[in-house]
Amino acid sequence: MPKPGELIFAAPRGAAMPPRHLADLTPAERREAVAGLGEKPFRARQLSQHYFARLTDDPAQWTDIPAAARQRLADELLPSLMTEVRHLACDDGATRKTLWRLHDGTLVESVLMRYPDRVTMCISSQAGCGMNCPFCATGQAGLDRNLSTAEIVHQIVAGMRALRDGEIPGGPARLSNIVFMGMGEPLANYRRVLGAIRRLTDPAPDGLGLSQRGITVSTVGLVPAIRKLTDEGLKCRLAVSLHAPDDELRDTLVPVNTRWKVREVLDAAWDYAETSGRRVSVEYALIRDINDQAWRADLLGRLLKGRRAHVNLIPLNPTPGSRWTASRPQDERAFVAALEVHGVPVTVRDTRGQEIDGACGQLAATER
């Protein structure tokens, strides 16, 4: 049976999920799987050490495992799930978008961004997106299917390997932050996204040993799933893609608002903030003459005043065929000023990756 939060926005029927992978399994399930293959259960920890700690799935490098067992363990527990189709880079190589082909031919994208003081990866949780937001290229493409936990995790493993091996200009580096802001609505793939968070943050060798505080999970506002996430007791940051403070406009910009209104979404977000101790990030794409009016900035400020929140204003990134564009600079400045009057912390997001269609709302996963 589907889990709560997956009932309404599940992947299309018949969508083919990939074969079982080590990263799909808990440590206990890995031991069971290895024993089921006729191997000693401790081999599960050895496999985990190779994949999560050493970032390798090449059986030729597993010198602590008998040669006769390596290929079978690899075939059964570390199958190839996705292959790199191409990399596109900008910012002198500091921003790199990767196009992945999954086992069934589905295409998804992830983006790695290196800054002077940190490295962030933007990863996908679905192939496409079913939320249908009209200003987002991913949303306009529709939903192909959910990604598995292992497909989500492998984007990070590949990025960490590239950083370790010095593939990104600036020398070897460590990953600082992960944002579930690539393709898809993460909370519409709740169970697998939660599994991925566990794999990313479990101590090595059970997982990658990353900090929950370095992970941001975005949502357009699936209220039941936000409340379920609150009950998990995580320290990840929640990002709410609001884009309008009033229901009339948000019904159009974020169609799920016809189900869960602005106040319901924000109430759920405040509960998450209270439980997690983390500020909520309110994402707001500034669209010229659509949602950037002074009165909307004032309304947003009134909704957020005194709350544990931070506003990320995102100048709208261009997408093919869109009739909308980014706000005028003076309107952007006025919007910021109106929020500051209410004491609401606000920043304007860096539009990294725009030249390679790797910025917010631009991921479309095409081979063109």
pLDDT digits (tens, 9 = 90+) for 247-272: 999 999 999 999 999 999 999 999 99
- Sequence-separated (6 or more) residues with CB below 8 Å from residue 106: 127, 144, 145
pLDDT tens-digit map of 104-146: 999 999 999 999 999 999 999 999 999 999 888 887 788 999 9
337 is written with which tokens? 């000023």
Long-range contacts for 323-330 (Cβ within 8 Å, ≥24 apart)?
A: 324/135, 324/287, 324/288, 324/290, 325/287, 325/288, 326/286, 326/287, 326/288, 327/286, 327/287, 327/288, 327/292, 328/288
- Whether 360 is a known active-site residue: answer yes
pLDDT value of residue 13:
43
Tell me the one-letter amino acid at 350.
D
- Whether 109 is a known active-site residue: answer yes
Tell me the one-letter amino acid at 109.
E
pLDDT tens-digit map of 177-223: 999 999 999 999 999 999 999 999 999 999 999 999 999 999 999 99
Give the pTM: 0.92
Give 273-305 as a DSSP string: HHHH--PEEEEEEEBTTTT--HHHHHHHHHHHT
Decide: 336 and 348 in contact? Cβ < 8 Å.
Answer: yes
Residue 58 has pLDDT above 60, yes or no: yes
pLDDT band at 5 (very low <50, low <70, confident <90, very high): very low
Which segment of 83-87, 215-219, 363-367 scores lowest on mean pLDDT? Answer: 363-367
Helices (H), 165-285: 190-201, 223-231, 247-253, 262-276
Calpha distance 235→216 (Å, rounded)? 9
pLDDT value of residue 366:
57
* Average of per-residue pLDDT values in the chain: 91
Query: CB-side exposure of 56: number of CA atoms within 13 Å?
Result: 12
35 is written with which tokens? 């024993």
Residue 351 has pLDDT above 70, yes or no: no
139 is written with which tokens? 């949303």
DSSP label of 326: B
pLDDT tens-digit map of 353-364: 455 454 454 455
Calpha distance 32→44 (Å, rounded)? 9
Decide: 264 and 292 in contact? Cβ < 8 Å.
Answer: no
Calpha distance 179→350 (Å, rounded)? 14
Residue among 159, 155, 158 nearest 147 (CA): 155
pLDDT value of residue 6:
41
- CB count in 10 Å sphere of residue 323: 7
Q: Which of 6, 39, 109, 283 is catalytic?
A: 109
334 is written with which tokens? 């006025």
pLDDT value of residue 350:
76
pLDDT value of residue 345:
98
- Sequence-separated (6 or more) residues with CB below 8 Å from residue 29: none
Residue 174 has pLDDT above 70, yes or no: yes
pLDDT value of residue 136:
85
pLDDT value of residue 359:
47
Decide: 337 and 343 in contact? Cβ < 8 Å.
Answer: no
pLDDT value of residue 361:
47
Instruction: Supply φ then ψ for residue 297, to 5 degrees.
Output: -60, -40
Block residue for tokens 């975005």: 218
347 is written with which tokens? 């920043």
Calpha distance 175→160 (Å, rounded)? 6
Mean pLDDT, residues 76-88 taken together? 96
Mean pLDDT, residues 162-191 taken together? 96
pLDDT tens-digit map of 269-289: 999 999 999 999 999 999 999
Helix axes 329-341, 294-304, angle to 10 degrees: 30
- Higher-scoring residue by pLDDT: 6, 352: 352
DSSP label of 327: P
Residue 2 has pLDDT above 60, yes or no: no
Mean pLDDT, residues 169-175 taken together? 95
